[in-house]
Amino acid sequence: MMRTVEVLLVIFLLGAVYVTTSSYINLPSPSSVSPVDLNQLAYTTLQELDSRYDLSSAAFQTNNLTAWGNLQIALAASLPPNMVYNLTVYNVNTASNGAPLYSSVASISNAANLVSSDASSYLEASSNVTYISTPQQISTNGVPVTLYILDCSDTNGWWTTGYTPSSLAQTVYSLLSPYFKTTIMVQNTSQLNQLLNGQSLQGGSVNNAVIINTCGEAVPIPTNFSSSSGLNYTQGWDPLANGGQGSYAMYDYTLGKITQLYNWTWVSIVGYPFYYVTNTGSLSNSQNNFGIYGMNMVEGYGLSAFLEGLDNQPYSYTGSSTGSPGVVYLTSQVQSLCNYYGLYPSISQTSTRALPASITTQYNLVVTNSLFSTTSPYNPGAVYRHLNGTNYQGGFFALGMARIPDIRLAALGILCDYQPARYGSLYTAAGSNRLVVLQLGIVGGG
């Protein structure tokens, strides 16, 4: 019984001490414990006003009462009701020694003065300020390179699901034409025939050109190469191949030789290169086993024939194969150049038609740019240059990606290989910059 009384007495004494001590403790106000960050609030408010263009509009229209009235309404709506503010706009000029000069041009406020406050600033540029980036034009040994884009109206595409060759041609034109002095859209296979025979189109250079085939796995073939009455038929058709049924692998061999002769860079945008040939006129009764007429299947014989021609080897009807490394990734260098050129395809792609790395020794090729990390023994997407002695003579860019093609990869591969510079320029006019300062304070206590 005595122990129970002792315990109760101790509890009573401790409670009395706690109550007595608490009466002497002054707890801080909630606003002191967690004060408003006025500096950050001011900067966030300026950003919010600028996102709606009220700020930039009013900063350069200080005599426009409507613009300033709208700005004050937006500012008041953006701040808590117990907030006082002063917003001042300064004109920014430059002194003779290069130092900035600030002169007040306008201000709005809802308080006579702000004794205790914080402020943030925001720099606005007028429409008189223009930043442009001028691309360097791609050249070889100082001579401008011509870009030819195959936009042949008398062809069909394959493995370009969802796109037409023409739509891809228009997109690649917008991406790459700024980097070339001359860009020519090859409108039909008749114009392609002229190019294959060394005839210039629209003043473009035949030598050292970049040729982008937008038909995917199919290659446009002119009537002269695909019709028995054509002048170049023997350079396009091999009657003894395929067990005597014939093959257009001979045309791909001729393309390889022409690519080497004129030092072209031939670009295949997706899938298995040279797997078909296409001409909706001369091949109107032929289809690729999938109901796409105007096409003829060459299979893997087309790729090996092209590479034989590129290496100036004797023609032989020999098949080739591709591999499927699966998901592949842009190299770190290419990702860096994505930022430089402003092209942002996904860094991961699916490759199902990658060329074997062994073709470099088989056909005297050098990889000058790998778009993706190599997945041995395949190159998912690479630019190959044919080595003729000590000089490059002919090139080939193969993207072994699965359909649907991302045409930005084709443009990126060319830019990463040639690496043209981009020259930036800033054009300004006097009084084209204004500094906006927002000062904030709190009314009342916490």
For the segment 7-58, what is each residue's pLDDT rounded down to a tens digit? 566 566 666 655 555 555 555 555 454 456 888 899 999 999 988 778 988 9
Token readout for 217 is 């796995």
**Residue 373 belongs to domain spanning:** 138-425
Q: Is the peptide bond before 11 cis (omega within 30 degrees of 0)?
A: no
Average pLDDT over residues 376-398: 93
First to last CA, the chain: 52
Residue 183 lies in a domain: yes
Residue 27 lies in a domain: no
Number of H helices, E strands in the chain: 13, 22
- Same domain (yes/no): 120, 151: no
- Same domain (yes/no): 77, 107: yes
Query: What is the greatest pairwise CA distance in the chain?
Result: 126
Average pLDDT over residues 338-361: 94
- Same domain (yes/no): 262, 147: yes
CATH code for the domain in which residue 118 is found: 3.30.1140
Gap between the Cα atoms of 265 and 84, Å rounded: 66
Gap between the Cα atoms of 353 and 271, Å rounded: 5
The answer to which of 66-75, 176-185, 216-225 has the lowest mean pLDDT is 66-75
- Same domain (yes/no): 407, 387: yes
- Same domain (yes/no): 414, 292: yes
Residue 104 lies in a domain: yes
For the segment 232-261, what is each residue's pLDDT rounded down to a tens digit? 999 999 999 999 999 999 999 999 999 999
Domain count, the chain: 2
Least Cα distance to 80 among 37, 32, 142, 19 occurs for 37
Angle at 126 between CA 124 and CA 128, to 5 degrees: 145
| Residue 390, pLDDT score | 86
| Residue 145, pLDDT score | 97
Gap between the Cα atoms of 204 and 365, Å rounded: 27
Residue 324 lies in a domain: yes
Question: How sure is the predictor about 221, in pLDDT bands with cuts at 50, 70 and 90?
Answer: very high
Is 220 a residue whose pLDDT tops 90?
A: yes
Is 139 a residue whose pLDDT tops 50?
A: yes
Yes or no: say if 442 and 38 are a contact pair by the CB < 8 Å rule: yes
Angle at 370 between CA 256 and CA 329, to 5 degrees: 130
- Same domain (yes/no): 105, 175: no
Strand order across the 218-220 sheet = 218-220, 276-278, 295-297
- Same domain (yes/no): 254, 391: yes
- Same domain (yes/no): 338, 399: yes
- Same domain (yes/no): 154, 86: no
| Residue 388, pLDDT score | 87
Is 297 a residue whose pLDDT tops 50?
A: yes
- Same domain (yes/no): 410, 318: yes
Stronger pLDDT, 106 or 93, i.e. the higher one: 106
- Same domain (yes/no): 207, 315: yes
Gap between the Cα atoms of 301 and 214, Å rounded: 20
Stronger pLDDT, 426 or 311, i.e. the higher one: 311
- Same domain (yes/no): 44, 188: no
Yes or no: say if 120 and 48 are a contact pair by the CB < 8 Å rule: no
Residue 9 lies in a domain: no
Gap between the Cα atoms of 206 and 147, Å rounded: 10
Gap between the Cα atoms of 187 and 174, Å rounded: 16
Question: How sure is the predictor about 426, in pLDDT bands with cuts at 50, 70 and 90?
Answer: low
Strands 130-135 and 139-140: unpaired
For 226-279, where are the E strands, in sequence order?
265-268, 276-278
| Residue 124, pLDDT score | 85
- pTM confidence score: 0.70
Residue 12 lies in a domain: no
**Residue bearing tokens 């392609």:** 192
Residue 7 lies in a domain: no
Q: How many CB atoms lie within 10 A of CB 22?
A: 9
Average pLDDT over residues 271-299: 94
| Residue 33, pLDDT score | 44
Gap between the Cα atoms of 206 and 199, Å rounded: 7
Gap between the Cα atoms of 122 and 75, Å rounded: 14
Residue 22 lies in a domain: no
The mean pLDDT value of the chain amounts to: 89
Residue 10 burial class via C-beta count within 10 angstroms: exposed 0-12, middle 13-18, buried 19 and up: exposed
Helical segments of 27-88, H only: 30-33, 38-51, 54-59, 65-78
Is 396 a residue whose pLDDT tops 80?
A: yes
Gap between the Cα atoms of 415 and 371, Å rounded: 11
Gap between the Cα atoms of 216 and 202, Å rounded: 25
Least Cα distance to 38 among 90, 80, 88, 73 occurs for 80
% of the chain surpassing 70 pLDDT: 88
Average pLDDT over residues 140-168: 94
Left if phi > 0, otherwise alpha if psi is -120 to 50, otherwise beta: which for 291? left
**Residue bearing tokens 């690496």:** 419
Phi, psi for residue 299 in degrees, rounded to 5: 65, -155
